[in-house]
C-alpha cells in the first residue's frame, strides 16, 4: 500500500520527535511491505522565518490533498512578539482545523503500567483508568469574534446546535465501541452555550439507548477526573473546556510526553500530533521524549489508512520500550530522542 501523508515537523523539538516517528514509520513500512510517500512542508515559526507565513499556501495545499497530516509542534518565545493570526499557533493550527473541518479532537488517557509510579498521584488513583476525551475543536470561544475597544477586550463564545450534534454523535459512536458511557461536560448553570450543549446532547443520547449519559459541570469534572478517573469512558466537551481537561488528564498518564491526539473530520481526513508543545528550552539537545509523536503516527495509520495491525505493532513497540527502560531521561531512561526512535523501529521490524 502507498501511504501518502503530509509531514509537518514544525518548531522546537518538533523536528526531533518527528524524525524519531519517521524512523518508526519506515520500519513499519519495511516490515509490512508498504511504501511511504511523505510530503514534508514548513509550518508555524519555521515557516514564518523562511516564507513569512505560518501556513504557506504549499503547506496547506499538501494537507488538503493528502488528508492525513503528521504534525510535530509549533510556536515558541521567538515569535511571541507577533500578534493574532501572525503568530505560529493562531496562524497555522486554527486555520488547519477550521478549513479542513477537523472538528473532533480525540485524546486517550490510559496509564502505562511502567509509568504508574512516575505519576504524581497514588497508584490506586490511576490503576484501571481508561478513558478518551472527545473535544469539539472548531467552535466556541477560540473561533468567535474577538477584539478590543476603549472599554476592554472581548472573546465571543458561540455554538450552533449542528456543531454540538455532530461531535456528540462521534462521542456516542465511540462509546458504543467501548464501555458504553458518555460523560458530557459543560457549564450549563452559567453559560447559554452550555445550555444548548446539554439540550442537544440529550437529544442525541436518545438515539443510543444502550449508552449511559452523565452530565458534569466543568469545575466538578476537574476534581472528579483526579479522584475517580476509573469512572469515565468517553468524556465529551467543548473546545476550551477540552483544552484544559486534556492537559489535566496528562497527569493521570504519568507524562504529557506519552499522549497522542487525533483531530478528525468526517471520513478519513485527520491531523495527528502529540499534545505537548514545542519545548524550545530543550530543542536540539536530544532530550525530547518522542513517544507521543510515535503514537500519533500509529493513530494516523489506524484512523486515516485503516492499518490496524501496523498501528498495533508500533503501539506494542512503545509499550516494550517503556517496560525495558529504553526511553529518554524524563521517563527515567538514558536514551536520546533518536536512540529511542531507533529502538522502537528495531522492535517493529523484528
Residue 268's CB is within 10 A of a number of other CB atoms, namely 12
By the 10 Å C-beta count (0-12 exposed, 13-18 middle, 19+ buried), 78 is classed as middle
Which neighbouring-strand residues pair with 68? Answer: 270
- 283 secondary structure, DSSP code: T
Q: What are phi and psi of 7, to 5 degrees?
A: -110, 120
User: Contact 136/242 with Cβ under 8 angstroms?
Assistant: yes
Distance, in Å, from the CA atom of 204 to the CA atom of 183, rounded to the nearest integer, reads 13
**Residues with catalytic annotation?**
142, 187, 219, 243, 247
C-alpha of 5 from chain center: 17
Question: Torsion over CA of 85, 72, 47 and 53, rounded to 10 degrees?
Answer: -20
Angstrom distances, CA of residue 297 to CA of 21, 29, 69, 76, 342: 7, 12, 9, 23, 15
188-220 in b/e form (b: 16+ CB < 10 A) is: beeeebbebbbebbeebbeebeebebebbebee
Distance, in Å, from the CA atom of 330 to the CA atom of 334, rounded to the nearest integer, reads 9
Angstrom distances, CA of residue 203 to CA of 25, 137, 209, 215, 218: 42, 21, 11, 13, 20
305-334 in b/e form (b: 16+ CB < 10 A) is: bebeebbebbbebbbebbeeebbbeebebe
Amino acid at each position: 500500500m502507498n501511504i501518502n501523508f503530509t509531514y509537518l515537523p514544525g518548531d522546537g523539538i518538533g523536528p526531533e520527535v518527528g524524525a524519531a516517528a519517521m524512523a518508526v514509520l519506515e520500519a513499519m513500512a519495511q516490515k509490512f511491505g508498504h511504501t511511504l510517500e511523505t510530503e514534508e512542508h514548513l509550518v508555524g515559526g519555521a515557516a514564518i522565518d523562511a516564507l513569512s507565513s505560518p501556513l504557506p499556501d504549499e503547506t496547506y495545499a499538501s494537507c488538503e490533498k493528502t488528508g492525513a497530516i503528521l504534525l510535530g509542534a509549533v510556536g515558541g518565545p521567538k515569535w511571541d512578539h507577533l500578534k493574532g493570526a501572525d503568530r505560529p499557533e493562531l496562524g497555522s493550527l486554527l486555520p488547519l482545523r477550521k478549513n479542513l473541518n477537523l472538528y473532533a479532537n480525540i485524546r486517550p488517557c490510559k496509564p502505562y503500567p511502567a509509568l504508574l509510579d512516575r505519576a504524581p498521584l497514588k497508584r490506586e488513583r490511576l490503576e484501571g483508568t481508561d478513558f478518551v476525551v472527545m473535544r469539539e475543536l472548531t467552535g466556541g470561544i477560540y473561533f468567535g469574534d474577538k477584539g478590543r475597544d476603549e472599554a476592554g477586550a472581548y472573546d465571543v463564545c458561540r455554538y450552533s446546535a449542528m456543531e454540538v450534534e455532530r461531535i456528540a454523535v462521534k462521542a456516542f459512536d465511540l462509546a458504543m465501541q467501548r464501555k458504553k458511557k458518555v460523560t458530557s461536560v459543560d457549564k450549563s448553570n452559567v453559560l447559554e452555550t452550555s445550555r444548548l450543549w446539554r439540550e442537544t446532547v440529550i437529544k442525541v443520547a436518545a438515539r443510543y439507548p444502550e449508552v449511559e449519559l452523565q452530565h458534569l459541570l466543568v469545575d466538578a469534572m476537574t476534581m472528579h477526573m483526579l479522584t475517580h478517573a476509573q469512572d469515565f469512558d468517553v468524556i465529551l466537551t467543548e473546545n476550551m473546556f477540552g483544552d484544559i481537561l486534556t492537559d489535566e488528564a496528562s497527569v493521570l498518564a504519568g507524562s504529557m510526553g506519552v499522549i497522542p491526539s487525533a483531530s478528525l473530520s468526517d471520513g478519513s481526513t485527520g491531523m495527528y500530533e502529540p499534545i505537548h508543545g514545542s519545548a524550545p528550552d530543550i530543542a536540539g539537545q536530544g532530550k525530547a521524549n518522542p513517544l507521543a509523536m510515535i503514537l500519533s503516527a500509529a493513530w494516523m495509520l489506524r484512523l486515516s489508512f485503516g492499518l490496524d495491525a501496523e498501528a498495533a505493532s508500533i503501539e506494542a513497540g512503545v509499550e516494550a520500550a517503556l517496560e525495558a527502560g529504553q526511553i529518554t531521561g524524563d521517563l527515567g531512561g538514558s536514551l536520546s530522542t533518536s536512540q529511542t526512535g531507533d529502538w522502537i523501529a528495531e522492535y517493529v521490524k523484528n
